[in-house]
Structure formats: structure tokens, C-alpha cells
Amino acid sequence: MSCYNDIPADIISTILYHLRHDHSTLRACSLISPIFLFPSRMYLYSEINLSVGSRQCRKFRDLLSSNPHLGVHVRHLSIKDSQEDHDSDVGWILSEPALPFVIESLPLLRSFYLSCFKPDDNKLILEWHTLPSGLKSSIFHLLQLATLEKVEFRSLRFPISIFCDSPQLRCMHLPGCFLDGAAKTIKQLYRHDKTRLTQLSITAETYSSDLIDTLTHVFDVSQLRDLIILGPNPRMLKVAKELINSSALSMERFQWSLPYFYNSTGYITSHIPMDLSIVSNLRVLEMGVDFWYENPKRDPFPWLFRTLSDIAKSGNTVNLERIVVGVTAEGFGDHELRSLIGYSIWGDLDAILTGGAYSKLQSVTIYLCALYTPGELSSVWLAPMKKRLPSLRAKGLLHITRYPFHQDMRGRGFFATEIQLR
């Protein structure tokens, strides 16, 4: 026992850091010596995921009741129902009395994820007022923690006022959410010491005519570094434009779904200019392009071409280092897929991205996904696509791969399985 006590603390910390994902080994280390116990607990309890129903939550509640000191080790809490997991107890969050105690027992939480569904209800968005009062109170308590930096709510309609006392909040991801901010409520909430966001993710469902006013009366969005806007909804263009203009000097990453504003001839029928060239520190640009077999005239590719072309023509310094394009074709057969690959715009993009304006470019990644298409047909994407972009390929900048589509992607990002949010 004494020999372990002679090991310097920084050596022990380094060893356990490299074992942080191996929980069985961490549990064994915690039994070696008291000097290993505390740092082992830091990793064992740093991330808690409650996703399989009431029984798991109650076991964790009992653990915290008998060992309240363990709550200080929890940094990340995820609470979710799973509609796809048949073993889970869908709707358990709304009826579990142990959950508020668990939430309020974690005083040093840094990130919080909540996704819940109302049983036997076809509504996609859960209303805040339907949550149990105890759960709402515990969430209010959590959002006031001085350590909380990141929050993700999924498919929830909630009042923006719940974030008024979240001083350290920096990252908000709100897939499928709707922000409720009545005008008179917003006026009462106006403060000079707004919470400064650096990362924001919203979807088309978040849209409302006063979305920008709702956000900016509570949050300072002038320092956004990462902005993610998902869903090919033209109404979100105005939102995207205003957020980009507000944070042009700080933004480093922008991800969006290209909208449909094109008629059968491919010409723009309506356009809201969005000048990405003003974003001087933009390093990563990620764009999602979706095609539906039922309506092939909806062509978002001109947005892709125009966006990259306008940046090149602006005359401003282009600091882009990485461009990612996610192409999803739904219900396409062999002929349609080959036509898409043969689209002339690929050659135009190849010329633009290998021109002098994009001299700092380090990689161009194209993710290809064919939904509801036989597996053997989706294989026609890869080899022909590389031939459509010869200059990028010759420079070693081109990366083309298929990615498996899953429903969660549309909520967290086009490339959620490949690119982790910072």
C-alpha cells in the first residue's frame, strides 16, 4: 500500500486519463489505494447517461442518496427517451419522481442534454407546461449553475426566459425546438449582461418571425464561433443572414442545409443575399444538399455554387481550410444517381475550389448518402464522383465517402457520425 502512496499525483492522473474510457479498469484502480480513489471517481462518474427508463434513474438516485459526495464528479448529464429502443420505457421522464432529485444533486454540471416524448401522443414537440412541476423546478435550478456551459434540448417548446440566469452558458443546441418569447415577456427580460453564446445549433422547426429578437434579447450572439442551421427551409435564410452579420468577426464554422428556391429551369426565383465573404475567420464550411425523387426539380445545387463563387469573387482574404458537402438522394434509382453524378456543376466547383482564392484550403470532403435505394446502386457514387473533380483529386484535397444516414443526424448535424461538435 505504501508503495502506491509514493507515486507522484501527476503520474497517477496521467495513467488514469489514458484509462478514462475503460470503466472496468478504472473500477479496479479505485480499489488499489486511497490515492487512486478520487481521480478514478472523476472519470467513472464524469458522464452519466439516463436513457433506458425509470429503473436506471432510481438506481442512480439511490447511489447519490447514500453517497452524496459523488455528485460533484458528474460533468455531463444526458436524459432521454428512445423511440427506437424497444427495451426503453418511453415516456418515463415525465412520470419519474426520482429525476428532480438526481438533477439537483449535481452541483458542478457542465453540459445537459434532454430529450423526452409524450407517450401515445403524435405531437413532435413537447410543451414546457406539460412537464411535471418538480422536473421544471430542477431544470431551472440546473440552468442557474455557474459551471453550466452547454445545453441541448430536443423537440421541446419552452420559454426563452428559462435561460435568463445562465451566466456561463456558451453552447446551445436546439434541434426541433421552438422558442417561446412573447413580446411583453421579452421586454421585461432585457438585460445589459446578456449570456454570451459561442455555439448555436437550430433547425427549421425553431423558426418564428421574431426568432432573432427572441434570441438577442437574452443572448449576445456577436461572439458565435460555431453556427449550425439545419433543415432546407427558405425562411431560415433571413435568420442565418442576421446571425452571420452579427458574428462576422468571430465565426469559425458554419453548417447549413441549402434551401430550395429554384424553378424547373434552375434559375433563382427568390433570393436573400448572404455574404459569407464578410466572415473573415471562417475555417470550416459544411453544407447539406438534399434531393427527393418525388420532386427532382427542387435543386439546391445552385446555392452551393453561388455561395462558393461569391466568396471567391469578393476579393477578401479567404481563410477556409475545410469544406464539407453532404449530398443525400432519397429514392433514386440507377439512372437518377448517375445523372446526379454527371451534373455539370461538379466541374465548376472543381475549378473554383482550386483557384487562387482558396489557397488555404486543406481538404474538401463529400459525403454521399442514398436513402431508400438498393445497396448495390449506392455503390455507383464513389468512383465516378472522383473523376468529376480531377483538380481537387490531383492536389490531394478530395475525400469522398458514403455515410450511413440515421435519424439523429438531422438533429445534431449532417455529419454527426463523422464530425464532433467542439
pLDDT value at position 417? 34
Residues 274, 248 contacting (CB under 8 angstroms): no
Torsion of CA 350, 355, 360, 366, to 10 degrees: -10
Q: Indicate whether 416 pLDDT > 60.
A: no
Q: Phi and psi (nearest 5°) for 289? A: -120, 115
pLDDT of residue 405: 47
Q: What are phi and psi of 159, to 5 degrees?
A: -75, 135
Name residue 171's amino acid.
C
Structure confidence at residue 282 (pLDDT): 92
Q: Band of the pLDDT at 175, cuts 50, 70, 90?
A: confident
For the chain, the structural domain boundaries read 1-44, 46-223, 229-422
User: What pLDDT, in 10s, does the model give residues 84-112?
Assistant: 443 445 578 888 899 999 999 999 999 99
**For range 208-218, the mean pLDDT:** 84
Whether the predicted pLDDT of 419 surpasses 70: no
State pLDDT tens for residues 355-400.
888 999 999 998 877 766 555 555 566 777 778 889 999 999 999 8
CATH number for the region 46-223 comes to: 3.80.10
Residue entry with cell 430550395: 260
Tell me what pLDDT residue 378 has. Answer: 53
Secondary structure letter of residue 303 according to DSSP: H
Angle at 422 between CA 126 and CA 70, to 5 degrees: 70
Residue-wise pLDDT for 125-141, tens only, equals 788 888 899 999 999 99
User: Is 80 exceeded by the pLDDT of residue 195?
Assistant: yes
Cell of 340: 446526379
DSSP at 277: G
Task: Single out the residue of 273, 194, 193 nearest to residue 238, CA to CA.
Answer: 273
List the grid coordinates of 346. Answer: 461538379
Tell me how far apart the alpha carbons of residues 156 and 90 are, in angstroms, rounded to a whole number: 16
Contact in structure between 311 and 352 (CB atoms under 8 Å): no
Q: How far apart are CA 78 and CA 81, in angstroms?
A: 10
SS3 at position 348:
helix
* Residue 210 phi, psi (nearest 5): -110, 25
